[in-house]
Chains A and B, each alone.
Chain A
Amino acid sequence: GESVGLHLPTLSVQEGDNSIINCAYSNSASDYFIWYKQESGKGPQFIIDIRSNMDKRQGQRVTVLLNKTVKHLSLQIAATQPGDSAVYFCAENSLIYNQGGKLIFGQGTELSVKP
C-alpha cells in the first residue's frame, strides 16, 4: 500500500552541525515530494520540494536528495540553528494521477538542536 516512512523518529544535533533527515517511500507512482517543518502549535510549513525528474535540489541552507532507485528521500540542513528545532515531515504525491491535493505524510522526525 501507499506509505511514507521515516528512518529516525528523533534526531539531536549540536548547533552549527549539519543535519540529515531521511525518508523512505513505497509508492512507485509518486512523482512529487515535499518537506515540511512543523513547530509546536503551528501548521506544517513548506521547506522545499522536488519532482521525480530531479535527484537534487537546493534552497537556503537546505538540500533535498531523491534516490528513486531505492525510493529514498533526504533533507540536509546546513549549519543547524536552534530555530530549526521542530518536527520534519516528508510527503509524497502523484501529480500524473491528478492527486495534487492529496499528500501522503510520514510520521515525522523530531529535530532537537542543542546550543
Chain B
Amino acid sequence: DAGVTQSPTHLIKTRGQQVTLRCSPISGHKSVSWYQQVLGQGPQFIFQYYEKEERGRGNFPDRFSARQFPNYSSELNVNALLLGDSALYLCASSWTASNSPLHFGNGTRLTVT
C-alpha cells in the first residue's frame, strides 16, 4: 500500500510569493494533518482536517490556510512568504480524527529566499 505522498518534494520561493503544497493520504484515511518542522526541532501542528472540515488549528498566522477535498487529499497554502517559513512541511493521515496514530509523508522542503 502506498503511504502518505506529498508534492513537490522540494521548492524554492521568493519572499512575498505564495505556495501550495499537496498531500494524498493513505487509502481509507479520512483525516489529514499538516505540520511544520524547522531544522533541529520537532514538528509543530498547523491544521487538521477530517471529512473536509477543519478540526483544529495551531498557532500559525492567517497567511496559512488549507483545505481537504472529497477524495480526502489536501492542500496547504501559504501566502506572503517570509524567510522564516523555510521549513519541512509534513502531512500526516489517520483513519479517524482521533484515537489513531498519525502516519507521516516525507514532506516538502520549502526554502524561501
User: Are B105 and A43 in contact, CB atoms less than 8 angstroms apart?
Assistant: yes
Cα distance, A42 to B37, chains bound together (Å): 12
Cβ proximity bits B84-110 to A, threshold 8 Å, 1 near / 0 not: 000000101010111111111111000
Closest to A96 in B: B98
Stretch in contact with the other chain, from A11-19, A61-69, A97-105: A97-105
Q: Determine whether A44 belongs to the interface, using a CB cutoff of 8 Å to chain B.
A: yes
Cα distance, A34 to B107, chains bound together (Å): 19
User: Are A100 and B90 in contact, CB atoms less than 8 angstroms apart?
Assistant: no
B positions within 8 Å CB-CB of A: 4, 31, 33, 35, 40-45, 48, 50, 55-56, 58, 90, 92, 94, 96-107
A98 smallest CB distance to B (angstroms): 6
User: Are B42 and A106 in contact, CB atoms less than 8 angstroms apart?
Assistant: yes
Give 18 CB contacts A-B under 8 Å: A34-B101, A43-B4, A43-B104, A43-B107, A44-B104, A46-B102, A91-B42, A98-B98, A99-B56, A100-B31, A100-B100, A101-B56, A101-B98, A101-B102, A102-B48, A102-B56, A102-B58, A105-B44
Contacts of A89 in B (CB 8 A): 42-43
User: Are B94 and A101 in contact, CB atoms less than 8 angstroms apart?
Assistant: yes
- Per the 8 Å Cβ criterion, residues 1-58 of A in contact with B are 4, 32, 34, 36, 41-46, 49
Cα distance, A45 to B105, chains bound together (Å): 9
User: Are A101 and B106 in contact, CB atoms less than 8 angstroms apart?
Assistant: no
Contacts of B94 in A (CB 8 A): 100-101
Q: Determine whether A95 belongs to the interface, using a CB cutoff of 8 Å to chain B.
A: yes
Closest to A108 in B: B42
B77 smallest CB distance to A (angstroms): 18
Q: For the A-B complex with A91-B42, A95-B98, A99-B98 known, give 9 more contacts whose Cβ atoms are closer than 8 Å.
A: A41-B106, A42-B106, A43-B4, A43-B90, A43-B105, A89-B43, A100-B97, A102-B56, A106-B42
* A46-B103 contact in complex given A95-B98, A99-B98, A101-B55, C-beta closer than 8 Å: yes
Closest to B48 in A: A101
